[in-house]
Chain A
Amino acid sequence: MTTDLSPGSGLRILACAMALAVSACATGAADSEGSETAPARQARALPTGMDAATNLDPYPSTYRGLPRENMAIVGGTVFTGAGQRIENGTVVVTDGKVAAVGDASTPIPSGYRVVNAQGRFVTPGIIDVHSHLGAGPSPGVQGNSDVNEPTNPNTAQVWVEHSVWPQDPGFNAARAGGVTTLHILPGSANLFGGRGVTLRNVPSVTMQGMKFPGAPYTIKMACGENPSRVYGGRNSSPATGMGNMAGYRAGFIAARDYKDKWDRWRETGEGTPPTRNLQNDTLAGVLDGSILVQNHCYRADEMALMIDMSREFGYRITTFHHATEAYKLAPTLAREGICAAMWTGWWGFKMESLDGIEENVALVDAAQGSCAVVHSDDAELIQRLNQEAAAALSAGRRAGLDISEEHAISWITLNAAKAIGIEDQTGSLEVGKRADVVIWSANPFSVYARADQVFIDGGLAFDRFDPAYQPLSDFELGQPGYGQDAAATRQGAR
């Protein structure tokens, strides 16, 4: 790709600032940043590609954003994602950023396009923290099966961004459902599945063209039935829950050792550094906090074990995914500052999902300091995350909890952004954030609501009424039904 490092260099500075070891920032402008105690001597340069720290972002984002104009969305009911509901609200967008959010008296600079949202609802763009779009795309045929690397219980070395096929028609369908940001994860066959990647939901020929600039890397870890079934089925370890735990611990022991050797070499410059190991690079990133743990874990008891293990090795869990039993330890998750990403309606498909309840999200949310998230893990459900949140809200109210819609929208916006470490950039309609905005035809908690317009960084990415803004992937061209209106409607891509 391009040698322009401008997006990448920003990420490197961010990663260096987050790294615990100051010496992790070995080259370039970042060298002196935050360094109180300078290394005893400068580590000598290694051949290109042999020192992970010299290039933390080798597949950098080339995302540029869609054409945009300054605008004000007026007259709608605004859910800011940060807890406010504003009737007859105004959202001012300048240079792709939210410039102002307020009531009808909010000033609109001259020359701005005015978008009338009267009678409609305005929310931040929807964020799905658990998607396999592109990696497990449609059509789901063998040649496209790129979501799992079930060849070893530890495949921390694989990066799912290298599996993403940007032509997956599912990206377009998700956008028609209001999804502006997605977090793509590898599958759950392995204890360490590999790195996840966060994407802007814009059509692109390349993955890099979708990559969310500056979003932190993540790792997929999987508890439970899937790894033990896959490997136990081959008569190899792990075959049990205890085998799973042993496998994680072995992985972190190796990573600690690797990281320690690198740190020592960077501090002293003596001897020879370890040969770069992609698996341990990723796990060392977990240990230094630069790579966020996204932990597939259904059962409450297993989540508690994972929390203990994070203390044993000195890392943090950012989010539990699928968290079917999160409601059984909601206060613990809140105290630990761990997000839980959940379904509302899915349960019973395997033993670890047996105790799934519709109230899970609401009960997790009720704990002080919680971070409840609704996720999809599914190419169809991702199109209706607003409805999944509505069902969760409904179950919570049935249980007697007093939950407002302006709060519940955070389950698929601001909390979701927190769960993948991008809440400083998106997830709410607050001044300075990216202008990721959905205008809904009706209250998004209604089954009848459709995303009328979807803006990403202030650029119109989807318009339900204008075929010019209903992108089709290359795969969809010329296929059966192509160019034909179903039921005499042109409302939306599929």
Chain B
Amino acid sequence: MKTASLSIKGLLAVAALALATPAVSQETTAITGGRVLTGTSVIENGTVVIRGGRIVSVGTGAAPAGARVIDATGRVVAPGFVAVDSGLGGSEVSSVRGSDDLSNASNTLSAAFDVSWGLDPWSMTLPVARLGGVTRAIVVPNHPGSSGGHAHEQEDMAGAGDGGYHTPGLFAGQASIIHLGPDTRNGGTEIVVQSRVAMVAPFGEAGANVAGGARGAEFVLFRETMAEVRLYARNRSAYDRAGLRDLSLSRADLEALVPVAEGRMPLIVTVHRASDILQVLRLAREEGIKVILDGAEEGWLVADQIAAANVPVLLNPITNLPGNFERRAARMQNAAALETAGVLIAIKGNEGSVHRARETRYNAGNAVSHGLSYPAAIAAITVNPARIFGMEGRFGGLVAGAEADVVVWSGDPLEPLSQPVAIFIQGREQPLTSRPLLLRDRYRDGGEGAMPPAYSR
């Protein structure tokens, strides 16, 4: 597992260098005087220097001569936050199926589904999240166990049943990493940083339902699938000449699962119940696959086992009610307990981190008020997600050489009363605007002027 982890990181680093970097300003910018949260430490009265889209230095020195200086005295300078388990850029209005490219119900494609093709740099969700300090996201395909959707509104789908929302396969598809700094006005439109960074699969109740209604079916089916993938990988030429027995998945799915079966691509497993977590850890061990736990509301009951398996966890720390029989032990202290046990955690936003990705910072704050240390909370929305997805050093932390995702905050970024005052992504300063702010400005005077509001822009 350790070796696999290093190799994927190396692979991604090479890929990162190979990516064409859009033209960026060679102007030097220095952010001075602020309380700098690097992601792993705090520098009082710090100086962050940016040039060519990257962070040149982070320290306490003076601004370089000729630099544009942003005085952050009395403010807080932080890395851009990384939204995990997110749907940013992949969905506009949750209930409008045609605007949602996060879920796939094809009969012949599950694991091979690649969300990166559907991600929209012009999505109105991106500027909204950015104003919450989010500059990167791990965009994951949706599945029946995902955290998306407005629960109450789904209850109103009386009589609709669940069937229509289920994907047919064990796998939801493959996740992508995006940045939230597309300069769509100046021709820069690429938001995908890295596609196919992880495979996603629901376990627990949702996975059981996909497999036929019981956990015992899903685990068996999963192992059988891994066996078929390995069989396929060893016998591609036989498969091509139809000399291999029928396999249950399409060729595209089999191909997509090869890196999972070989432990090169992490599998994000959505799982909630403590007993299911233990079974997933066992499955990962026995199958030699690399997993990331997602959800893990009962994780605190088995924190030591998760830590011993060296498996990271993506969690929402405010999920504290027994919403179903998989979450009876849900507690606000889950994040703190996992951190104490030595588990690498990343904190999620709400409802699939699409429209409410901006609440990621409040969730981190609530974890602090329930026992998580402040540095751990900051790490859980910056460097930890970068580490979990093999991107440490590239983004998620204020460190020399990293891409310059930097946010200057009016105060503690975890506090609702704080707001961003400057946002840089890949060194480019972002406008502090969004569609909701345009609406605000149109109606801020009550909308009762002589001309209808439609005449204001």
Contact = CB atoms under 8 A, between A and B. Distances in A.
Contact of A394 (B321, B330, B356, B416): B416
Given A448-B365, A486-B331, A480 B274 contact: yes
A169 B323 CA distance: 10
Contacts of B457: none
Size range of the chain A interface in the assembly: 35 or more
A169 B158 CA distance: 24
Contacts of A173: 320-321
Given A350-B93, A481-B329, A481-B331, A345 B356 contact: yes
B369 A448 contact: yes
Contacts of A487: 300, 333, 336-337, 340, 370-371
A480 B301 contact: yes
B159 interface: yes
B322 A479 contact: yes
Contact of B325 (A141, A345, A346): A141
A141 B324 CA distance: 6
B427 to A, nearest CB: 25
Nearest to B159: A150
A378 B153 contact: no
Interface in A447-494: 447-450, 475-476, 479-481, 484, 486-489, 491-492, 494
Contact of B334 (A234, A346, A359, A486): A486
Interface string A177-192: 0000000000111000
A351 interface: yes
Given A349-B351, A448-B369, A170 B152 contact: no
A212 interface: no
Interface in A327-370: 327-331, 345-351, 354-359, 363, 367
Interface stretch (B10-18, B110-118, B446-454): B446-454
Contacts of B366: 384, 387, 447
A169 B322 CA distance: 8
Interface string B426-457: 00000000001101100110111000010000
A349 B150 contact: yes
B321 A138 contact: yes
Given A138-B322, A486-B300, A347 B155 contact: no
Interface string A362-385: 010001000000000111100110
A230 interface: yes
B76 interface: no
Contacts of B358: 345
Q: Give the interface centre of A141, A145, A330 by most chain B CB atoms within 10 Å.
A: A330
Most chain A CB atoms below 10 A, which of B151, B153, B358, B414: B153
Q: What's the dominant secondary structure at chain B's contact region?
A: loop
Nearest to B321: A138
A390 interface: yes
A242 interface: no
A187 to B, nearest CB: 6
Contacts of A448: 365, 368-369, 415
Contacts of B336: 486-487, 489
B156 interface: yes
A136 B415 CA distance: 31
Contacts of B239: none
B416 A357 contact: no
B162 to A, nearest CB: 11
23 contacts: A147-B155, A169-B321, A170-B321, A230-B157, A233-B159, A348-B93, A349-B149, A349-B150, A359-B436, A378-B151, A380-B319, A387-B416, A391-B362, A394-B417, A447-B416, A480-B274, A480-B328, A486-B331, A487-B300, A487-B337, A491-B370, A492-B370, A494-B321
Interface of A: 132, 136, 138-141, 145, 147-148, 150, 169-170, 173, 187-189, 225-226, 229-230, 233-234, 327-331, 345-351, 354-359, 363, 367, 377-380, 383-384, 387, 390-391, 393-394, 397-399, 445-450, 475-476, 479-481, 484, 486-489, 491-492, 494
Interface of B: 92-96, 125, 149-153, 155-160, 273-274, 298, 300-301, 318-325, 327-334, 336-337, 340, 350-351, 354-356, 358-359, 362, 365-366, 368-371, 414-419, 436-437, 439-440, 443-444, 446-448, 453
